Amino acid sequence: MAQVLVVDDEIGIRELLSEILTDEGHDVRTAENAAAAREARATARPDLVLLDIWMPDTDGITLLKEWAANGQLTMPVIMMSGHGTIDTAVEATRIGAMDFLEKPIGMQKLLAAVDRGLERGRRRVVAGLSLAAFPRSAPLKDLKKRLEQMAAKSRSLLLRSNGGGIVELAARTLHAPDKPWIDLAASSEPLSLDTLGAASGGLLYCEELARLTRLQQKNLLFALERLERHNLHLVAGTGNDHQGLAQQGWDEAGLRRLAEVWLALPTLADLRDEVPDIASHLLTQLAEAGESPLRRFNSGALNALRQHVWTGGYGELKSAVRSLALAALGEEIDGEEVARLLFPNDGPAEPGLPPDVMDLPLREAREMFERVYFEHHLRLDGGNMTRLAEKSGLERTHLYRKLKDLGLRGGKGEE
């Protein structure tokens, strides 16, 4: 027995569809608008949704986009409309809807669409988190727009990212719903034309070029020359320069071709204020995919995640969220759990002032305090000099001079 959610503002249609599907043995729940649909989606976790397009509060296309962006489009959705257009149907399908039914809906057509949807739902793989889930974040919204603009003109995109980068999060943004996602680092078999043909409309991905074997390098270059023919996109990341990759056996001509269109990505240290939101979405997605119980972070946990230096980047954050979700004893994850379970030795102990500091001359005591102060913030902000300048209230040139006088190495800039 499948759980089906029927969303329509017309009570007659809701009752009719509910009666038909109930007679077929399904467990049916109804919602009269988008607000009720959100609540039903969150509590009932339906196997399939029949979603009307025209509703008084939020239209069905907007709700579909919302679910897709939040990683909640884990079930097949069939759109319904009494006066839909081809453009609307195409847009709904592009966002992730499985089918489009015009009202009035015949019984046989309805049941056939529901059967197809439930069958696809059993085979459905939950898509990874993308930048579309963060419409209120200015830096992530800007990055999404740049990625989409570039992908519209080039089927190949190189993402330059140092340690702590978000290559996968960026690449998922360009991945079309329900289309193949091929990680080129996951296979040691030669890539064939049949494989490329079967992946039409999908995305080929490589997180770090330097980690590919010689065969995997050949696979990538083989695919690179056939992207247009097979309607594919390629997104590859690297923290290495041209010379470093060439020393690892990369073909010079292939590297030049790969680097024709590229974009520098921010790291999680640059996106520190976005980390809590990213972590919360990852946690929700784990529950949606059935990979963990329902969990939530409290403010203390989110603050602890925000302050951590994610040298391993997005991959490390994903692993941390998964570990917390699986190890938590209750529904709420707090800051103590983050520290205890994941980061028991998170960097050196907090420096302190010696007990006899009050007996020192003022100049020496001030210098000692300044060293402790700057060491603390350099570590807390991952060496980000812009943040340190803002917190200390010092101009950048003065700040660099101060660090040099204290014998401290300045962190990396944001360039």
Nearest to 7 by CA among 68, 51, 42, 60: 51
Is the distance from CB of 281 to CB of 70 less than 8 angstroms? Answer: yes
Q: State yes or no: pLDDT of 309 exceeds 90.
A: no
Whether 118 has a pLDDT exceeding 70, the answer reads yes
Question: 352 or 138, which is more confident?
Answer: 138
Phi, psi values for residue 30, rounded to 5°:
-120, 155
Whether residue 145 sits in one domain with residue 112: no
The CATH code of the domain that includes 143 is 3.40.50.300
With tokens 């929700």, the residue in question is 284
Q: pLDDT class for 400, splitting at 50, 70, 90? A: confident
DSSP-based three-state secondary structure for 131: helix
Domain count, the chain: 4
Average confidence (pLDDT) over 294-300: 91
Average pLDDT (306-314) is 88
Per-residue confidence (pLDDT) for residue 17, from 0 to 100: 95
Answer whether residue 231 is part of any domain.
yes
Residue 196 CA from chain centroid, whole number? 25
Quick one: 216 and 105 in the same domain?
no
pLDDT of residue 404: 81
pLDDT given at position 412: 46
The model's confidence at residue 83, banded by pLDDT at 50, 70 and 90, is confident
Residue 222 lies in a domain: yes
What confidence tier does 165 reach under pLDDT thresholds 50, 70, 90? confident
Distance from the first to the final alpha carbon of the chain:
56
pLDDT attached to residue 389? 82
What's the helix, strand, coil split of the chain in %, to 5?
50, 10, 40
Q: What pLDDT does residue 414 have?
A: 43
CATH number of the CATH domain containing 389: 1.10.10
pLDDT at 413: 44
pLDDT > 70: percent of the chain:
92
- Cα Rg, the chain, nearest whole Å: 26
Taking only the tens place, the pLDDT of each residue in 196-238 is: 999 999 999 999 999 999 999 999 999 999 999 999 999 999 9
* pLDDT value at 142 more than 90: yes
Whether residues 119 and 135 fall in one domain? no
- Cβ proximity of 302 and 280 under 8 Å: yes
Structural domain boundaries enclosing 169: 131-264
Q: Is the pLDDT of residue 359 over 80?
A: no
The reply to whether 139 and 100 lie within a common domain is: no
More confident position, 232 or 354? 232
CB proximity list for 409: less than 8 A, separation 6 or greater: 403
Residue that wins the pLDDT comparison between 288 and 220: 220
Give residue 167's identity as a one-letter amino acid code: V
Pair (294, 365) in one structural domain: no
DSSP states along 98-124: -EEEESSPPHHHHHHHHHHHHHHHHH-
Mean pLDDT of 291-297: 90
Is the preceding omega at residue 355 within 30 degrees of 0, hence cis?
no
**Using CA atoms, how far apart are residues 20 and 18, in angstroms rounded to an integer?**
6
**3 state SS of 76:** coil
Domain end position, chosen among 98, 123, 148: 123
Residue 386 structure tokens: 């812009």
pLDDT digits over 16-27, tens only?
Answer: 999 999 999 999
List CB contacts of 132: < 8 A, sequence separation 6 or more. 68, 69, 144, 173
| Secondary structure of residue 6 in the 3-state scheme | strand
Residue 347 pLDDT: 47
281, pLDDT greater than 60: yes
Is 415's pLDDT higher than 60?
Answer: no
Q: Are 100 and 89 in contact (CB under 8 A)?
A: yes
Domain end position, chosen among 105, 123, 141: 123
